[in-house]
Amino acid sequence: MEAAAGPVPGAAPARRLPRAVGVALATAGLLAVTAASAAVTVAVGKPDGRPAAAAPAPTVAASASVSAAASPSPTPTAVPVPVPVPVPVPTAVPTTPKPASTVKGTVDGGKHEGDLRYFLLPIPDGGESYGPADGMTMSNDDVADQFGKQDGIMDILGSYGYKEGASRMYRTADGKAEVTVTLLHFGSTAMATAFVKGYTVKSQDPIDIDGDPNAHGYVKKPRQQAYTGSMTGISSQGDVQYTIDVEVKGTPDKALLSDLMKRQREWLASGG
């Protein structure tokens, strides 16, 4: 996917997805394969509940014969009684708590301060992060990669008061989607808004984004349902511009992208 960036504010910066995964995902089956688990049943036999056979009672004659032949009984000795060994009770294996994030940030009147990674949309429960769970601070080279390393891209971004960037990629708990969130911090709300208006993506079909009034999006449908489709949403909140890329097997459902865009906007507005 390519995007185009203009030379001045209000122009159309170009962008591509952070990595090409179309054929790779379809071949590896990353989004389609569900691990099968075999249920193992352990059978424990019950103790034999049948009563032991009773010994026959001695006859009177036999008792008399025994009494006549018996010699004086020796002093009985104590029979040692085995002490039962206590069986240890199994205890639950303690679970390792999820490490708390140490990155912090604040927002006031649309102005974001602190670590930009703090404002990345949180990974949903069960999601798997690619790379650090807190996300990554982007170097200028990382940012240039997002726009195809076109000539002068950092100067173009600088004309909007660009300060810093942050990104995070994760896979959803059901394994059906890969999500990449990218934040770019600009000099003001007006500059971030202007950047969004000029941000277009070539070779993809435009789509509406519900629940995010400043957003616009694009979709790329796969040639076959076994291949990977993608969606891109672009918007801003305050002085931060955000882009969300979603890759799924088959034709993407824009409802997923709309939900992510709405939640990212709310996270940036409230600061968590």
Instruction: Give whole-number Cα distances, 153 to 122, 136, 147, 149, in Å.
Output: 29, 20, 7, 7
In single-letter form, the type of residue at position 74 comes to P
Q: How many C-beta atoms surround the C-beta of residue 142 within 10 A?
A: 15
3-state class percentages of the chain: helix first, strand second, coil last, to nearest 5: 20, 25, 55
Nearest to 233 by CA among 259, 203, 270: 259
Please tell me the predicted confidence (pLDDT) of residue 111. Answer: 96
Tokens of 243: 């882009």
Q: What is the pLDDT of residue 234?
A: 97
DSSP 248-271: EEBSPPHHHHHHHHHHHHHHHHH-
Q: Find the length of the chain.
A: 272
Whole-angstrom Cα distance, residue 146 to residue 260? 20
pLDDT 10s digits, 3-49: 555 444 444 444 444 443 332 333 233 333 333 333 322 233 334 44
What are the C-alpha distances in Å from 225 to residues 26, 32, 171?
9, 11, 19
Query: 204 with 217: CB under 8 angstroms?
Result: no
Q: Name the phi and psi angles at 187, rounded to 5.
A: -70, -25
Give per-residue burial for 172-185: e unless 16+ CB within 10 Å, then b. beebebbbbbbbbb
Considering only residues 212 and 15, tell me which one the structure prediction assigns the higher pLDDT: 212
Answer whether residue 165 shows pLDDT above 50: yes
Bin 75: left if φ > 0, else alpha if -120 < ψ < 50, else beta.
beta
pLDDT at 63 > cutoff 50? no
When mean pLDDT is compared across 89-93, 147-151, 204-208, the lowest value belongs to 89-93
Say what the pTM is.
0.66
Q: Is 135 helix (H, G, I), strand (E, B) or coil?
A: coil
Instruction: Output 258 or 86, whichever has higher pLDDT.
Output: 258
Mean pLDDT, rounded, of the chain: 75
Q: pLDDT tens across 214-264, in order?
A: 899 999 999 999 999 999 999 999 999 999 999 999 999 999 999 999 999
State the DSSP H helix or E strand holding residue 146, giving kind and residue range, or none if neither: helix 140-146
Measured distance CA(134)–CA(138) in Å, rounded: 13
Among 16-20, 119-123, 208-212, 216-220, the minimum mean pLDDT is found in 16-20
Element (H, E) at 129: strand 128-130
